[in-house]
Structure 1
Amino acid sequence: MWMQKYKKISRFLTFKRFLYQTEEYFYYYFEKTNRNYTNILFFFPTKQKQVSILFLSLPSNLIEVILNKFMSYLITPEGYKPLLDLKQTELGIKQIKEFFQLNLSSELRLRRVTAPLFVLKGMGINDDLNGVERAVTFPIKDLGDAKAEVVHSLAKWKRLTLAEYHIEPGYGIYTDMNAIRADEELGNLHSLYVDQWDWERVITAEDRNVEFLKEIVTRIYAAMVRTEYMVYEMYPQIKPCLPQKLHFIHAEELRQQYPDLEPKCREHAICKKYGAVFIIGIGCKLSDGKKHDGRAPDYDDYTSKGLNDLPGLNGDLLLWDHILQRSIELSSMGIRVDKEALLRQLKEEGEEERLELYFHKRLMNDTLPLSIGGGIGQSRLCMFYLRKAHIGEIQASIWPEDMRKECKEHNIHLI
């Protein structure tokens, strides 16, 4: 089945082309030669560790159709029937968002602030996520056509805001973050439009340890459990399924537990077993020389020693989705880099030039507080609580026409 999730794993910097990989190890890259035609190379690694190569030069509009088909994915649960109608769904979304953000702010002592939709390019404020995603940009006429970028997330902006608001240790901020991620692989869990609660809290140097990270994660999970019970009170047909206890594991321990599985499949396996899991050490190199998943080197600290003396003071919170029968990531968070971790991680990634950017200079000059922070997906959280099969049942976005058609055939009603 070609409708699999694709993950960007590298960039050809010389030609600014992208390399993609499926879980089935199928690769391709492409180059637009002129207005009408595109060259595309397909790589098919075989079981004999050989590589079959297919080269095509096709009309660009046809290539676009092919790539859209490859990059999107769709899971259609057998016998799926929504438990709520459209009106109930909209009311549920409203109640969940209001209830959860109140609990989140109470648990972590956060105050709400207003967030930007875009920031100036070249300041080092926008987040690179896995390091290859392109930001949506546009020129600003009144600033001499200076470029602005629609945010990917607000990890670095929030830390700057903590300094501007003079927030004391033990307190923090949260915001409704809206973003556009043009390179997202569209599917049940991924949309061009991203909405999440972004939060950041000031900490002390003594808090920069894995036990403090686990304490904060546990508080956030407690808010999730309470919210699920609120949904049950509102809609009794939605039975609570979250375990009372969250399971913690390091990415290296997870790799050793499931050595024959790819990272995503490891996540599915561990989440199916425990129901709710926090994987520590996202972004650090494991004993096989690979990363469980990518992280930009200038916000989360994924190299300082943490759980069982393994590197990483950050991680991902995942839940087992009984509708999709797979794990879903609901939150990414971590203790942020201090000066030493920033230098170490930038050097490891060969990105020392970032030290010339505004945010990085502020950090190196000790004008930013130590902090912990993360993001929690609003639409995904609502999708989980309301037992929906597709994020498009929660939010309005753009989807491939063939996906809309197939969703309709399987009782998945995209907004």
Structure 2
Amino acid sequence: MALVIPKDYSPRLSVRETQEAIKYIRDTFQKEFGKEMNLSRISAPLFVEKSSGLNDNLNGVERPVSFDVPWKKDEVVEVVQSLAKWKRIALQRYNFQIGEGLYTNMNAIRRDEELDNLHSCYVDQWDWERVIGKDERTEEVLQNTVRDIFRIIKHMEHEVWYKYPDAVKKLPEEIYFIDSEELLKRYPNLSPKERENAITKEHGCVFIQRIGDKLSNGEPHDGRAPDYDDWSLNGDILFWFETLNCALEISSMGIRVDEKALERQLKLSHNEDRAKLPYHKMLLEGKLPQTIGGGIGQSRLCMLLLDRAHVGEVQASIWPEDMRKLCEENNIFLL
């Protein structure tokens, strides 16, 4: 996605008012989210040891930022790309029970991100994870959890409207569910991103299920690491975003792999060697709880609710100078 400059764009809030609105959204959402989802706030690491196998390798091509430490010169430490696996370990270590969960602020650096209106080198999201029973590893549980998250986001629209009525974006009344294979059959001549745009524009908000496994055309809808989400029980929450004329992904989430799903997905992705890593060994030996979890983009949510044209309006990061100049010329003020 190249940089998009909306015609006659007006942010409706000053930079300082925007900063106040960002704080209000973040403070209010995490409080409501934790309460409604039965999640406790915990602290999380900024980096992990590479040898632990805890870092998320995303689509498998992104290079994590890494460094060494003086007390263990043969160890590489990596800045987290997400906390998908770390959270599951934390639930076990802190003795969370079925129905209980955690959330945390996750900050990451994505050095290979292609910068545009939606993508930054800096990632900030609420990472969350909740313990479930083995009998809850179902599509019904997944969809009901998605509906809960949509309801909380929808409630945030009303909360923001009370304080910033001229700035808030109107959200759809419900979320539409569709499987990635059904989406392919509906739009066989479109690319995955074009399919996402088409279905999200039609329904306003969608949850696209089953991401990571190959579809009938021999390609996955999108890449997913093989060792956290169960590819048959995951998906993305997308909102239609008129300002940029595209689908805006707010959350990637899913029911996590059990022993069988992990073995299958490691084999399909040719990553069987990961089974020797500490995290993967614990999972294969049945020492970790069954969980559901995901991430919700903090800056993305602020973009959505405040109807902003660039993620740099709601987070402080670095941008090419020509992008900064072009944005400033068009009333887009990057922090």
TM-score by length of 2: 0.98
**Which residue matches 1:29?**
none
Q: CA deviation at 1:239?
A: 4.8
Match of 2:252 in 1: 332
Q: Deviations over 1:41-95 (max 9, x none)?
A: xxxxxxxxxxxxxxxxxxxxxxxxxxxxxxxx31111111111111110111011
Amino acid aligned to 1:281: R
Q: Residue by residue, what CA displacement relative to the aligned partner does 1:10-37 show, whole Å, maximum 9, x if unpaired?
A: xxxxxxxxxxxxxxxxxxxxxxxxxxxx
**Does the 8 Å contact 1:321/1:328 carry over to 2?**
yes
1:401 is aligned, of 308, 321, 329, to 321
Rounded to whole Å, the distance in 1 between the matches of 2:314 and 2:169 is 19
Offset at residue 145 of structure 1 (A): 5.2
Matched position secondary structure for 1:223 = helix
What's the offset of the Cα at 1:258?
Answer: 0.9
From 75, 82, 86, the equivalent of 2:15 is: 86
1:117–1:400 distance in 2 versus 1, CA, 3 Å: same
User: Residue 184 of structure 1 contacts residue 190 of structure 1 at CA under 8 Å; is this kept in 2?
Assistant: yes
Identity within the alignment, %: 54
- 1:53-68 equivalent positions in 2, closer than 5 A: none
2: CA distance between counterparts of 1:145 and 1:259?
49
Which residue of 111, 120, 139 maps to 2:49? 120
1:353 equivalenced with 2:273 (yes/no): yes
Specify the code of the residue in structure 2 equivalent to 1:188: N
Query: Could you tell me whether the CA contact under 8 Å between 1:176 and 1:195 is conserved in 2?
Result: yes
Counterpart mapping for 1:10-49 below 5 A:
none
SS at match of 1:122: helix
Deviation at 1:248, TM superposition (A): 0.4
Q: Deviations over 1:248-274 (max 9, x none)?
A: 000111111111110001111111111
Q: Work out whether residues 251 and 297 of structure 2, in 8 Å CA contact, stay in contact via their aligned partners in 1.
A: yes
Q: Using CA pairs below 8 Å that are at least 6 residues apart, which structure has the higher relative contact order?
A: 2
**Partners of 1:382 and 1:240 in 2: how far apart?**
10
Post-superposition CA distance 1:212-261 (Å, at most 9, x none):
00011100110000001111111111355211211000011111111111
1:157 corresponds to which of 86, 92, 102: 86
In the alignment, is the contact (CA less than 8 A) between 1:336 and 1:373 conserved in 2? Answer: yes
State the secondary structure of the residue aligned to 1:76.
Answer: coil
Gaps of 5+ in 2: none
For residues 216 and 250 of structure 1, the distance between their equivalents in structure 2, rounded to whole angstroms, comes to 16
CA contact (8 A) 2:59 2:224 kept: yes
Question: Which protein shows a greater Rg?
Answer: 1
Match of 1:290 in 2: 219
Q: 1:376 aligns with which of 293, 296, 310?
A: 296
Report the TM-score, using the length of structure 1 for normalisation: 0.80
Corresponding letter in the other structure for 1:134: R
C-alpha separation in 2, matches of 1:353 and 1:239: 48
Q: What residue number does 1:263 align with?
A: 192
1:190 paired residue number:
119
Separation of aligned partners in 1, 2:196 and 2:118:
15
Q: Which residue number corresponds to residue 131 of structure 1? A: 60
Distance across 1 between alignment mates of 2:60 and 2:24: 35
| Paired AA for residue 299 in structure 1 | Y
Give me the whole-angstrom Cα distance separating, in 1, the residues matched to 2:206 and 2:54. Answer: 30
Q: Does the aligned pair in 2 maintain the 1:255–1:266 contact within 8 Å? A: yes
Shift of the alpha carbon at 1:106? Answer: 1.5
